[in-house]
Structure 1
Amino acid sequence: MADRTQYLLELVHRSLKPYIANPKTRAVMITGSVAEGRCDEFSDCDVMLYYDELPTTAELDQARQQNRGAELVEILGDRQMGAFGETFRLNGVECQFAHTAIAQWEAEMSTVLEKFQVQPGIMKMLHGTLIGIPLHGEALIQRWKDNIANYPEQLAQAVIEHHLKFFPLWGVQDKLSRRDATLWYYQILVESAQNILGVLSGLNRLYFSTFQFKRMGKFIQQMDIAPPNLAVRLEGLFYQEPSVAALQLEALVQDTVVLVERHMPQIDTSAAKRQVGWRQRPWHIPEV
């Protein structure tokens, strides 16, 4: 992986030269698998570029032309909103360049870090900034990193309360088994697993987003507060018979609630606790 990471880093450095030459460019960093050193032959390059004023379409076209062989794939987003994405392929590698106005990015950061709103997209970008490697404007990026690393207590509580919601799959398993509800069953399973991770991310002061969530095992390894064997137990939910998986999910939810009560007792866990142990009972037509 080291050779692939080094190759992609060098590719990014070369492709960035015409962008950094633009005086509007204040800061640039690479994030994602390249920044973490976890590349393979399918990895792309996630690059964040920050400006006082966004570059024009003509300036972007010129930058791509200077990267000979760059093949534009798509432009995503609306520059009027202060940010947009540019995707192109270079030497067969997909490069995803996100262009963002500094004022827009700092306002987005404040919605999470100061207003304590749980915004999945922004949470993902906060994590990306923490792991990112600065390539230009290091002082500005370091200032953001320092701010993000100071995970507010109020945010932790907001994240936990946002995810502390579980549909009691274990209580309706008999009903689901009769209703051809395979898709719904797996939807509940996925959402429940994501909410467990979300609650634990708040307890451990980690930035978590369900969007394109990958490398679960590595994420869980960062947790000091977690149920035992969490990664194995979460993975196992998707390989067990539904009746077994439902009971294992119930146990995981119970373990998670206990951890919330132990480490953040100010949070109301009563709704989640009521679900644990609950079973829907069938009704019967009264005998005449």
Structure 2
Amino acid sequence: MNTASQWRAALAQQVAPHYAFNPQVAAVLLGGSTARGHADRYSDIELGVFWHQPPTDAERQAVANQIPGDLVRLYPYDPAEEVWCDDFLLGRRHPDQAKSGVLLEVVHYTTDFLNRTFDAVLQHANPDPVKQNLIAGVVQGVPLHHSELVQQWKARAASYPDELAIAVVNRYALIDHFWRWEMWLARSSNLMQLYHAFAQVQQQLLHVLLGVNRVYYFGFKWIDVVAAQLRYKPDNLVHRFSQVYQVTPAEGAGELTALVEETYTLVEQQFPEVDVTWLRSVFHYRRPVWDHAPPS
């Protein structure tokens, strides 16, 4: 754990007991780059609080009143993701400079929701990245309260099902309309759309590689960290991803094409039941272009 992670983790350890004091709190977990040990100067502190029953606004406010920092906001319940979020700024750059500290993001879930997420992903092979991200947070997280329960959750997620891997590959491996990079370039050098398309392909490849390697999605903020967890991947993946934007668009498209082909080969080797021939045909399709009306 680097220095930036160590002092952030120390701050989290000071906050966690304020939540752990409530008997309705089942576990508290440090997550994100701090838990993984590679935080930098831009990193926030991520804290997961898991409740036996949904937390009330009063319970969240009671902790906010005790935390030695500036409250940014207690966000309302998000029914779509079944989560409550609180933001704080810990410490101050100067004593009279409010809200100048390091960001602490606290996310609250019920244990029931976590268990349903486990069921959806592990038993029903739901490849939803939001669900996977929650499981990844548990797998990679550092328990700060009730570590025995957290270890049980970690054990449950330790085996990444083959069905989930195939579901992830099937969801992201289809890369169509790649030919449009030429169109964006021809249309007044529309680099905004061109590089947006390149970035979409790269994100799809990372999702596919996570599936091939049976690694839960945990975001793409740190490409080098993601790549380090991939046993099976194209050679020099991180460097080649970067090079796509540092050469001409045509050269970048060529590099991306090579990366797609190499990734498809890995899919063929790991999952012969996936129709990679069809994936390749879709990827290489080029819409016919016309300068004049076709013959009648």
**Pairwise same-fold verdict (TM > 0.5):** yes
Distance between the aligned counterparts of 2:128 and 2:81, measured in 1?
A: 17
In structure 2, the CA distance between the partners of 1:86 and 1:286, relative to structure 1 (3 Å rule), is: closer
The secondary structure found in structure 1 opposite 2:19 is helix
> How many Å apart are 1:157 and its aligned residue?
0.4
Contact 1:54 1:79 in 2 (8 A): no
**Is it true that 1:107 corresponds to 2:130 in the alignment?**
no
Partner of 1:192: 201
Distance between the aligned counterparts of 1:110 and 1:60, measured in 2?
A: 28
* Aligned residue runs from structure 1 range 99-248, under 5 A: 99-169=108-178, 171-180=179-188, 181-208=190-217, 211=219, 213-248=220-255
Contact 2:213 2:232 in 1 (8 A): yes
Partner of 1:9: 9
The secondary structure found in structure 2 opposite 1:39 is coil
In structure 2, the CA distance between the partners of 1:214 and 1:82, relative to structure 1 (3 Å rule), is: closer
Query: Sequence identity of aligned pairs in percent?
Result: 28
* Aligned residue runs from structure 1 range 246-261, under 5 A: 246-261=253-268
> How many Å apart are 1:217 and its aligned residue?
1.3
In structure 2, the CA distance between the partners of 1:69 and 1:216, relative to structure 1 (3 Å rule), is: closer
Q: What amino acid sits opposite 1:206 in the alignment?
A: V
> How many Å apart are 1:259 and its aligned residue?
1.4
Distance between the aligned counterparts of 1:286 and 1:68, measured in 2?
A: 73
In structure 2, the CA distance between the partners of 1:109 and 1:275, relative to structure 1 (3 Å rule), is: same
> How many Å apart are 1:233 and its aligned residue?
1.3
Partner of 2:45: 45
The secondary structure found in structure 2 opposite 1:99 is strand
- Number of aligned residue pairs: 285
> How many Å apart are 1:203 and its aligned residue?
0.9
> How many Å apart are 1:173 and its aligned residue?
4.3
Distance between the aligned counterparts of 2:50 and 2:111, measured in 1?
A: 6
Q: What amino acid sits opposite 2:198 in the alignment?
A: L
TM-score (norm 1): 0.91
Q: What amino acid sits opposite 2:230 in the alignment?
A: M
Contact 2:30 2:141 in 1 (8 A): yes
Contact 2:202 2:241 in 1 (8 A): yes
Structure 2 unmatched runs, 5+: 92-100
The secondary structure found in structure 2 opposite 1:71 is strand
Q: What amino acid sits opposite 1:43 in the alignment?
A: S
Contact 2:69 2:88 in 1 (8 A): no
Contact 1:48 1:99 in 2 (8 A): yes
Contact 2:8 2:45 in 1 (8 A): yes
Partner of 1:93: 102
Partner of 1:78: 78
Distance between the aligned counterparts of 1:109 and 1:122, measured in 2?
A: 8
Distance between the aligned counterparts of 1:278 and 1:150, measured in 2?
A: 37
TM-score (norm 2): 0.88
Distance between the aligned counterparts of 1:55 and 1:120, measured in 2?
A: 25
> How many Å apart are 1:82 and its aligned residue?
4.3
